Amino acid sequence: MSNSSEAVIKANLAKLPKICAATHPSTQEPVFIVAGEKGYFPASSKIDVDLFNADLKITPAQANAMIAGSLFGWAVNAADADHPSNQPGAKPKTKPIHLKYHSTDDDYCRVYYVDEHQGLWCWQMCRKVWHNASYHHIFDLMPCTISGEPIGPRDYTDITVDTMPPDVHSKTPHQFIHWYPRRMEYAHLWNRDHD
């Protein structure tokens, strides 16, 4: 890591609390984010995210910066609590991301795709939910390292894929093919009590 990146991270972290509560972008479950750490940590399903943050005097801008840092690294612009994208009323400036099929890893229940810059992403099976008298497998979308390791989940409402993985009689492609067209329907269904 360069000295300039370290300086940006240090400056961003100086404006943030040590921990905050957030709502998981795909499952809407409460999670904790620790400043400087990748990803998130499970929280009780009974926690009120807004009340938790208000009690610790954590602003919405700080919480938004914490979410961005945990997903995309602590040196990105959005990990700065003062960045315009974190201010109240800011409109997201994201363009839709189109992903092209890359490969499937049945051992880790992942379906890999690449973006237009050859960045690697995976949809990873993360849980099952009981819905309409049967279990359904739910996937999270995660950007990945070059070696294919997921970094942390992200919202997938602005993501499209070019093709489904070939269903070669293995479980992961079959479950993904069933889930993907219904992904928005399932995003709100998960309940910790059925995990």
Percent of the residues in the chain that have a pLDDT greater than 90, as a whole number: 26
> How many separate domains does the chain show?
2
Tally the residues of the chain: 195
In a domain, 91, yes or no: no
CA atoms within 13 A on the CB side of 71: 24
- Could you tell me the residue range of the domain that residue 13 belongs to? 3-86
56 and 127 in one domain? no
Query: pTM above 0.85?
Result: no
- CA pair distance 77, 74, nearest whole angstrom: 8
104 and 39 in one domain? no
187 and 111 in one domain? yes
Identify the residue with better confidence: 8 or 158. Answer: 8
In a domain, 92, yes or no: no
Domain boundary among 58, 86, 114: 86
- CA pair distance 134, 71, nearest whole angstrom: 32
82-140 pLDDT, tens digit per residue, is 987 777 766 555 567 889 999 999 898 999 999 888 889 999 988 777 666 677 788 88
| Average pLDDT of the residues in 179-187 | 71
Closest-CA residue to 13 (of 54, 62, 60): 62
In a domain, 53, yes or no: yes
66 and 134 in one domain? no
154 and 120 in one domain? yes
190 and 101 in one domain? yes
pLDDT confidence of 28, banded at 50, 70, 90?
confident
The strands making up 134-143's β-sheet, listed across from edge to edge, are 134-143, 120-131, 110-114, 97-105, 159-161
80 and 23 in one domain? yes
120 and 179 in one domain? yes
Domain boundary among 86, 105, 134: 86
63 and 106 in one domain? no
